[in-house]
Amino acid sequence: MGKPYVYITRNVPKETITSLEEVAEVAMWPHEEEPVPRNILLQEAEKADGLFTMLSDKVDKELMDGAPHLKVIANLAVGFDNIDVQTATDKKIVVCNTPDVLTDTTADLTFALLMATARRIVEASDYVKDGKWKNWGPLLLAGTDIHHKTIGIVGMGRIGAAVAKRATGFDMEILYHNRSRNEKAEKELGATYVSFDELIKRSDFVVCLAPLTKETENLFTWATFTLMKKSAIFINASRGAVVDEVALERALEEKEIGGAGLDVFRVEPISATHPLLRFKNVVALPHIGSSSMETRYAMCELVSRNIANVLLGSKPETSVNPEVLG
């Protein structure tokens, strides 16, 4: 018998897949930003023992039904809402993700997005680059303070707690809402657990870091935005589908909120004509939460090790459905 076959759905640094190449025959989609076409993904899955996937790849029942040799699907992300985990579990296919290694990097980006939106950093940079800076004025591009304000974090997991830790350096009051209490964050960071509505009403910065589930899809609606302070800034670094984007556009248009910092969108990528981009008080990023060189290399290496471990009959380091291996 030859080596098992693994297909990688984007072009990742070759030095990050050495552990995988030691145990498997590896093929890779040659493009870094262009996603693998669906028909090619289905063809590759049909013969694959392992798939190294991205959030943009739909790994559904159709794909798994046509992949009789598939033993492991490993996502280059913490999230895995692109994978039908129940079908994978039923078929004894291990599903892996990449938690932990990207926590601090994503928290850095989330807080940077908050700061950039509050202090109008992108707008100010464009103001200079566009040659508009002619004189100094007392309120020239004046933003809003971050220190001593109230931050409300929706989703107090690893990344949420890391964002809260950064907020302590700004002497912020930290509120959070989560499916369950995070007593460690309460004890170590002074975070206060509150209801979702109370968080929305009291926070100067509402930061969404919740995973995308049936319960969180469209969590932020028009009704939600109208409960916020008129000066509140909404930050989303989780998943685009947790937000009703039409409602967010209306909230910005009608000045129900003070601004938004968005690293994610419902349908990605977005075009330059996306309606949310017309607002100067919106900072939009191309889903780069974990995008540092150090972290992306570490993520790729973790995905490679996870796949290699499963193919060798060992437990992966990070699995979503560990019950498959018993």
Whether 79 and 112 share a structural domain: no
172 with 233, same domain: the answer is yes
Q: In terms of domains, do 77 and 145 share one?
A: no
Please report the DSSP string for 161-206 in residue order: HHHHHHHHTTT-EEEEE-SS--HHHHHHH--EE--HHHHHHH-SEE
On whether both 189 and 141 belong to a single domain, the answer is yes
Residue 156 and residue 78: Cα distance in Å, rounded? 14
Mean pLDDT, residues 189-206 taken together: 98
Res 265: pLDDT:
98
Q: Are residues 263 and 218 in the same domain?
A: yes
Whether residue 254 is found in the same domain as residue 312: no
Residue pair 209/192 in contact by the 8 Å Cβ criterion: no
pLDDT band at 325 (very low <50, low <70, confident <90, very high): confident
CA distance 164 to 110: 11
Q: Please identify every residue annotated as catalytic.
A: 239, 268, 287
| 108 and 171 co-located in one domain | yes
Q: Residue 311 — very low, low, confident or very high, per pLDDT cuts 50/70/90? A: very high
Tell me how many domains the chain contains. Answer: 2
Same structural domain for residues 139 and 17?
A: no
Same domain, yes or no, for 268 and 138? yes
Grade residue 1 by pLDDT with cuts at 50, 70 and 90. Answer: low
Same-domain status, 25 and 58: yes
What's the domain range around 205?
Answer: 103-284
pLDDT tens figures, 135-175:
999 999 999 999 999 999 999 999 999 999 999 999 999 99
User: Which structure tokens are listed for 55?
Assistant: 């959030």
Identify the CATH number of the domain in which residue 274 sits. 3.40.50.720
Residue 95 shares a structural domain with residue 219: no
The two tokens of residue 181 are: 């209490």
User: What's the rounded Cα separation, in Å, for the pair 309 and 300?
Assistant: 14
Are 60 and 177 in the same domain? Answer: no
pTM: 0.93
Q: Is the pLDDT of residue 111 over 70?
A: yes
